[in-house]
Amino acid sequence: MVKRDIFEKLVAWLEESRVIVLKGARQTGKTTLLLQLKQHLEEKGCRVVYFSIDREYNNPVFASPKRLTKFLNDQYTLSPTSKLYLFFDEFQYLDDPGIFLKVLYDTLKDMVKLIVSGSSSLEIAKTREYLTGRKIEFVLERFNFREFLKARSDINYTRWFTLNTPISELNEFYQVYHQDLKLHFIDYINQGGYPEIVLTDSWSKKEEKLKEIIQSYITKDIVDFMRIENITGFNNLIALFSEGAGNMVNKNEIANTLGIDFRTLRKYMEILQYTFVFSFVPPFFKNIRKEISKMPKVYSNELGLITMYRGKTFSDFDLIPGTLIENAAFLHLKEFFKVFYYRTIAKAEIDFIVEYDGMPLPIEVKFRNKPTISSKIYQSFKGNYKSELFIVISKETLKREEDKIYIPILLLPFIDFSSPGEDGDVASKRQNRRDRGG
């Protein structure tokens, strides 16, 4: 069983009073992670109660916080001297979950520690006003490439680097592990990061399981929970975004193509974002007259979704499309940053802009043997925003050239952007960026 990057961070919050809210897409391993926390507590001799709310929401004990409190007290004798750890998996299935948790917390915080998970950020967001000052949030993503390696490679990858690491040190690591990284990166691109799929050996079974996950998402989240009736239109939108990952989203054009109205499209996009299926990257601009396009760019949070809808997998690293490489780069960057893209009226574009060490950092993906970047767009951006560094994510090129750093895509997952030039507990630093204590 693969221990996730955020496990220790969650453990550190078990003794705090706040409600731990673990959110993420279906099948990303939230239940497994909660069970690991449950086991951790039980091994310490703690008292633990675990409920799967999506299976037990009709249980009469959940009719009200008062009834659940009585049940817990009858069965476990609540006491401040012996805290009870109460787990709710898929807590959004509770009636009025925000109010329910608020009442439980306010009534029992000295006797009960609440740890809850949910698959819909849209529904979880509704609880925030009730849990202000009472919660700490974490996002559990699908396996990132490092976790994928932990699950599939025989090599134990523990190294982290920064943008200040000498090129010679990066190159030594790259030369030693290059072949293993390339082999597993191809698999990562093809099958994505759903833990169950990654841990399955048979390729045909991987395909079947991915289809089952998507179907379960449509059935449980979209039809049953979100009450969406136009499933054909919703499915077509998923296919369109999967095939067009990395493209700008022209809402009027898409609405016309799919035959749905503009409001419906906005609603569907909101659902896809808040159920962690796609991310919509906004443009970076300060002078709205010069830098246009409020249209976001769309990226899939699951690489396997792209290959499934495109109907094509890859066995040759060199033949992986640049759009998939760009999407893979985005998945790493969003662990550390709020990500933007840059585009001018003249349609000059930089793939990603992030704020690094207090300054805008432009990042361009060039998956080719001899990557080059437009000096005009770079100098223009540098002049306007005082950028001191430019990152080029390449196929194989690894070098530092004045204020440009060329980093192979296979090395990118080992770059710690959380703190310039410092080593340390990267998983914790990365999660700190996501923590949202209300």
Average pLDDT over residues 4-33: 94
Contact 397, 370 (CB under 8 A): yes
**pLDDT, tens only, 290-314:** 545 589 999 999 999 999 999 999 9
Give the amino acid at 330.
F
Question: How far apart, in whole angstroms, are the C-alpha atoms of residue 75 and residue 112?
Answer: 14
Band (pLDDT 50/70/90 cuts) for residue 121 is: low
Sign of the CA dihedral 190, 195, 196, 198? positive
Residue with the two structure tokens 């985005």: 330
Q: How far is CA 192 from CA 94, 246, 366, in A?
A: 31, 16, 21
62-112 confidence digits (pLDDT tens):
999 999 999 999 999 999 999 999 999 999 888 889 999 999 999 999 999
Is the pLDDT higher at 73 or at 388? 73
* Six token digits for residue 43: 């091994």
For residue 194, the SS3 value is coil
pLDDT in tens, 101-112: 999 999 999 999
Phi-psi region of 69 (alpha: psi -120 to 50; beta: other; left: phi over 0): alpha
Q: What is the pLDDT of residue 437?
A: 41
Report DSSP state, residue 283: B
d(CA 380, CA 421): 27
| pLDDT attached to residue 426 | 41
- Go through the chain and tell me how many residues it has: 438
Q: Which of 109-123, 151-165, 184-198, 339-353 has the lowest mean pLDDT?
A: 109-123
DSSP string, 116-170: EEES-HHHHHTTHHHHTTTEEEEE-PSP-HHHHHHHH-SS-----B-TTS-HHHH
**Hey, what domains does the chain have and what are their CATH numbers?**
7-139 (3.40.50.300), 145-423 (no CATH)
Residues 313-333 pLDDT 10s: 999 999 999 999 999 999 999
Does the pLDDT at position 197 exceed 60? yes
CA distance 205 to 193: 15
Residue pair 301/279 in contact (Cβ under 8 Å)? The answer is: yes
Angle at 20 between CA 17 and CA 21, to 5 degrees: 150
Each residue's pLDDT tens digit, 261-275: 999 999 999 999 988
Question: pLDDT tens for residues 21-68?
Answer: 999 998 999 999 999 999 999 999 999 999 999 899 889 999 999 999
d(C-alpha 111, C-alpha 105), whole Å: 9
For the entire predicted model, the pTM comes to: 0.88
Band of pLDDT at residue 419, cut at 50, 70 and 90: low
Please, are residues 347 and 380 in contact by the beta-carbon 8 Å criterion? no
From CA 67, how far away is CA 109, in angstroms rounded? 16
User: Kind and range of the H or E element at 343?
Assistant: strand 340-343
Sign of CA dihedral 201, 204, 205, 206: positive
> CA-to-CA distance for 364 and 359, rounded, in angstroms?
16
In 3D space, the residue among 347, 343, 323 whose CA is nearest the CA of residue 247 turns out to be 323
Q: Which residue type is seen at 137?
A: E
